[in-house]
Structure 1
Amino acid sequence: MNILITLLLFLLPVLLLLSWRRRGSSRKLPPGSLGIPIIGQSIGMLQAMRTDKGEECLRERVRKYGPISKLTLFGKPTVFIHGPAANKFIFYGDSSIVANKQPSSIRAILGDRSLFELSGQDHRRVRESLMSFLRPESLKQYMGKIDEVIKHMESHWQGKEKVAALPLMKILTFNIICSLLFEMLEGMWSIPVNLPFTRYSRSLHASSMVQDMLKELVQEKKVKLEQHTTTPHQDLITCLLSKHDEENERVVTDKEILHNIMLVMIAGHDTSSILITFMLRLLYKNPAVYKAVLQEQEEIAKSKTSEEPSTWEDLARMKYTWRVAMETLRMVPPVFGGFRLALRDIDYCGYLIPKGWQVFWASNMTQMDEKIFPEPSKFDPARFENQKSVTPYSFIPFGGGPRVCPGNEFARIETLVAIHYLVTRYSWELCSDDHYIRDPLPIPTQGLLLWIVPKIQE
């Protein structure tokens, strides 16, 4: 007994010290609970998104804890931050403090050498190589090809009275991106537990299969380049393979090509198809906006024959249509949110973000904030007549700073050209409910069923 008392007396100061340190540390951390280790709030967040309540879930968190709080998402302790200042911190902050590291589920599926993961000189090197293909002056030469692919869309509409818009837009944008690449998505936002029959496990398998196919494609492109039977700018893969430094060494490795091709597939396929789908939905629900878009596009169509492809100059005249696209992106952002990684302890808004924790932001938290955008649920393209009137860092559909989306110009081209042909050649009505879920991208129930009527071409 005496030994036990002595041991307790010896340990008591140590226990008190540890307890004091824990209390001191917890006071620095943002409010909120980390929940069950690894799982935390992941299941609740995913369920909320799949019932179109993700934004509501986060707004409740902001009401309860304020603009910064802690939780556990996808296996890691996470700090959620909200507001224009948070967006500025995420996209324009010091890259030596916050890295663009994704949750392990995304990293395992897309690879560890994509732009989502690279930083510093590696990020600049790979990004510059991608931009050599995706910059506007390079994309001009692909206008005819994009236009031709979109015209093929008619084969999916012809002779039909009812179509599902989202699958069609996926076919359309997939065909376009296939002139560059391939497709894959499911399971990136999931708890990273690799058990049979889980979404995560299926996505890992799909990722492996896609990479195997891409390896064969890259090898074919290498042979063609060596035999001089293709040009360096034939497509994205040959462009990346052709990049060499001053010592004639390849700028982008095979692994980086594979992982960034997969990234481009996701960004170029799903996000654009969703944008065009929801533009169709919102144009139908807002007849005055549809009329203005139709007038703008018909004026362009009248200036050329039906066989002439869209040109770069045509895109410059589609100013109102692009404002409609921007307002669609504000109300229904394809990307719900994203993650960063704290590279060291960070003082943010009076709280500690510990080194190694994730930092999470959500795009619609500012885009649907009534203090920033009055009547946020009202579809009003006039909000973007003057970009300077938009509160800085409150609307970032393509990111910002050094990590602005390299494919934003490509997205603008395929969206505008697609809408041009849709509004000038067809009219449509919704014939399904108006709901959608997030999984993690927004998906209309029934794919957004439409009644379609071809217009008589003069």
Structure 2
Amino acid sequence: MNIFLAISLFLIPIFFLLTKGRRSSKRLPPGSLGIPLIGQSLGLLRAMRANTAENVSNKESESMLSLFGNPTVFISGQAANKFVFTSDSSALSSHQTQSSRKILGERNILELSGEDHKRVRGAIVSFLKPESLKQYAGKIDGVKKHLEMHWQGKPQVKVLPHKKILAFDIICSLLFRLEQGARKDRFVTCFQEMIEGVWSIPINLPFTRYSRSLKASAKVGNMVKELIREKRVELEQKGASPCQDLITRMLSSRNENNEEAVTEKEIVDNVILVMVAGHDT
């Protein structure tokens, strides 16, 4: 009991130091930030795994809480939607959770605003123009081959894992023309470990999912950098079309001074973002 009392006396002051200043002011909606750093994150993660996250958002609407280390307010309804989607950067700016920002990169379009957002978004959108999409139709036809390999003749099929494999195959082909092989297999292994920590509590300790995802993110980033170097050489040697994939399209984008409009860091972060957006949805 004496040991328990000593530990309690040691921890209580630390708890109050961590929670100092976290009480809501009159200008903030009602609610509690909960346990420091963790907040209500665990409850939301459980709801997401059970596919009941909508119930959490309805329950917490217009209230304050803490998610993944960030003070958060849930808002919903017509007025809230209008405020979010029509406000400029002076009233509202887009920021992801600390875990997703560190794992997906700080120069992706979800983190950028103003001219930076416009510049990078323009380079990505050019990849999705109708004349460009026509070139990709044949690649998407790989669905037939996938079905023959993983579905046909099988007495039982686990649909979700195989659909994710198919999505990743198409993404690799469209974004950087990476086809089947050992290199793509290494890519998918690191990628899957990376996205496991996108929605995680940002505690960077060796045994946490967040820490493992950070390491996997660094590996994926290095793989993308290697592909960028290869594509740059192909473009310089006139062996690649500027429209053949997302990386060559972004490398070929130019600003008004005829300089590369997108940095290597921005290409890496946005390629990873597009991969996650196309795969995990």
TM-score bucket of the superposed structures, by smaller chain: 0.7 to 0.9
Superposed, 1:376-391 pairs within 5 Å as none
Please report how far the alpha carbon of residue 188 of structure 1 lies from its aligned counterpart in structure 2 after TM superposition.
1.0
* Distance in 1 separating the partners of 2:247 and 2:81: 32
The residue number in structure 2 matching 1:204 is 214
Superposed, 1:90-129 pairs within 5 Å as 90-129=84-123
Greater alpha carbon shift after TM alignment, 241-250 vs 208-217: 241-250
**Is 2:138 the counterpart of 1:144?**
yes
SS for the counterpart of 1:78 is: strand
SS for the counterpart of 2:157 is: strand
Superposed, 1:35-434 pairs within 5 Å as 35-61=34-60, 67-147=61-141, 149-153=142-146, 154-179=148-173, 180-181=175-176, 184=191, 185-271=195-281
Please report how far the alpha carbon of residue 171 of structure 1 lies from its aligned counterpart in structure 2 after TM superposition.
1.6
How many residues matched? 243
Please report how far the alpha carbon of residue 144 of structure 1 lies from its aligned counterpart in structure 2 after TM superposition.
2.0
* TM-score relative to the length of structure 1: 0.51
Residue identity opposite 2:275 in structure 1:
M
The C-alpha deviation readout for 1:23-46, integer Å capped at 9, x for no partner, is 9x7332101111122221112221
Structure 1 residues 92, 136: closer, same or farther in 2, change over 3 A? farther
Please report how far the alpha carbon of residue 78 of structure 1 lies from its aligned counterpart in structure 2 after TM superposition.
1.2
Residue identity opposite 2:145 in structure 1:
H
Please report how far the alpha carbon of residue 93 of structure 1 lies from its aligned counterpart in structure 2 after TM superposition.
2.0
Please report how far the alpha carbon of residue 143 of structure 1 lies from its aligned counterpart in structure 2 after TM superposition.
1.3
Structure 1 residues 27, 248: closer, same or farther in 2, change over 3 A? closer
User: More strand per residue: 1 or 2?
Assistant: 1
Residue identity opposite 1:33 in structure 2:
S
The C-alpha deviation readout for 1:112-161, integer Å capped at 9, x for no partner, is 100110100000000000011112332122112212x1121222122212
* Distance in 1 separating the partners of 2:231 and 2:51: 43
Please report how far the alpha carbon of residue 242 of structure 1 lies from its aligned counterpart in structure 2 after TM superposition.
0.9
Give ranges in structure 2 of 5+ residues lacking alignment: 1-21, 177-186
Which structure would you say has the larger Rg?
Answer: 1
User: More helix per residue: 1 or 2?
Assistant: 2
Q: Percent identity?
A: 61
Residue identity opposite 1:49 in structure 2:
M
Please report how far the alpha carbon of residue 217 of structure 1 lies from its aligned counterpart in structure 2 after TM superposition.
0.7
The C-alpha deviation readout for 1:40-76, integer Å capped at 9, x for no partner, is 1112221222233322233333xxxxx4110111112
Give ranges in structure 1 of 5+ residues lacking alignment: 1-21, 62-66, 272-458
After superposition, the CA RMSD in angstroms is: 1.8
* Distance in 2 separating the partners of 1:60 and 1:248: 52
* Distance in 2 separating the partners of 1:136 and 1:93: 30
Please report how far the alpha carbon of residue 234 of structure 1 lies from its aligned counterpart in structure 2 after TM superposition.
1.2
Off by >6 Å, runs of 4+ in structure 1: none
* Distance in 2 separating the partners of 1:269 and 1:141: 20
- Greater RCO between the two (CA within 8 Å, min separation 6)? 1
* Distance in 2 separating the partners of 1:79 and 1:175: 37
Residue identity opposite 2:87 in structure 1:
G
Residue identity opposite 1:89 in structure 2:
F
* Distance in 1 separating the partners of 2:130 and 2:84: 26
* TM-score relative to the length of structure 2: 0.81
